[in-house]
Amino acid sequence: MITALPTGRRPVFVDGVRTPFGKAGPAGVYADVRADDLVVKAVRELLRRNPSLPPERIDDVAIAATTQIGDQGLTIGRTVGLLAGLPRSVPGYAIDRMCAGAMTAVTTACGGIALGAYDVVVAGGVEHMGRHPMGEGVDPNPRILAERLVDPSALVMGQTAENLHDRFPHLGKDRADAYAVASQAKFAAAYARNDIQPDLVPVAVRGSDGAWGLSSVDEPPRPGTSTADLAALETPFRPDGKVTAGNSAGLTDGASACLVAAEETARALGLPVRMRLVSYAYVGVEPEVMGVGPIPATEKALGKAGLTIDDIGLIEINEAFAVQVLAFLEHFGLADDDPRVNPFGGAIAVGHPLAASGIRLMNQLSRQFEARPDVRYGMTTMCIGIGMGTTVIWENPTAAGDDAA
């Protein structure tokens, strides 16, 4: 078995959940719900689903948010732990790596597990983009632009996607729209098979009429979307551009949380082992084309693991923009409709609540692992604002011939 961990102490993904994702804004399902309450709901569900885990065995709580202000601030990992009912002896902290917040929470926790500092950690992320639009309250140093450290377009994610279209002109709007339609169709099919719902945590919500209800399904998807529908959409980031609301992930509210642990601890406590960490990598790229980030991140993570892209049987890539996914696929010689890529659909359909999205990718990959013992390795990967990328490679513990169970 391949291992990139010299201590031999293997971190594993035990279990993950998320809230249904909601449309950001005053009409969205979470318009009157606090951000911290969303992630508290996810953490409580993790504890309910894993009753063999004594809460006092949790060593830390790492919660990410991109906009750490208001109900997403105040060292949110610590406050979420208290609100979720964990013992006061369990510490917590906050993380910000924009879109890769939850991913960073997981890998940071796993690093501590590999070192022996932790046995079990709660990691998660939340983004209430309706309450806290990306960039709210920030004050970028004027030297970033004045000294031309980055192009002004680097600070607007939609413009970075248009820059990618410029860099790869053959990845045209028609191709991006076709990919987006396929994402919607795959997500709808996954819902029809009940592939998504097992990891959703229902959330009590209050409507504009004051009546209480329950959010139990994702709000953003548009099943039945066609290329004709997308062709008619405006290109808000550039006149006659290629990036639209239809071939991009929408602004979304939501939260996610997971348990990661040392494998021996998980087995001793009777916890599931759904994925084993193999390797991970973070890289920096030109901020103006941040969407290429998954390419060098994947190359780095594969190199650390001693694997090639041909060894990866399942790929969960965050669909911030269709063009960003297409650039990744083309670089690695994969077809636009490669069945290994996002079998359950992606963020173009379900949305991208920034810091929460990484664990959604992990949830989906772990579900696919359960159904695919023929696949040994998979990965989760995403681009990150201000010019970064990340990839995490996972091993399937249900793989045929696995000798480490």
Marked catalytic residue, from 128, 132, 165, 352: 352
Distance CA 229, CA 357 (A): 26
Q: Which of 99, 110, 128, 165 is labelled catalytic?
A: 99
Give exposure, 245-271, as e/b (b: 16+ Cβ within 10 Å): bbbbbbbbbbbbbbbbbbbebbeebeb
Interatomic CA distance for residues 385 and 288, integer angstroms = 9
Q: Is 83 helix (H, G, I), strand (E, B) or coil?
A: helix
Question: Any catalytic annotation for residue 258?
Answer: no
Identify the residue whose tokens are 């609301």. 245
65: left (phi over 0), alpha (psi -120 to 50) or beta: beta
Cβ(191)–Cβ(197) below 8 Å: yes
Active site residue 352: yes
Six token digits for residue 83:
């609100």
Kindly give the residue spans of alpha helices, DSSP state H, lying in 332-404. 347-350, 357-371
Block residue for tokens 């996002």: 342
Nearest by Cα to 36 from 196, 219, 203, 207? 203
d(CA 262, CA 113): 6
Residue 199, C-beta contacts closer than 8 angstroms, at least 6 positions apart: 16, 17, 18, 363, 367
Taking the CA atoms of 44, 48, 49 and 52 in sequence, report the sign of the dihedral they define: positive
Pairing of strands 312-317, 275-284: unpaired
User: Within 10 Å of residue 18's Cβ, how many Cβ atoms?
Assistant: 32
Q: Is 99 annotated as catalytic? A: yes
Active site residues: 99, 352, 383
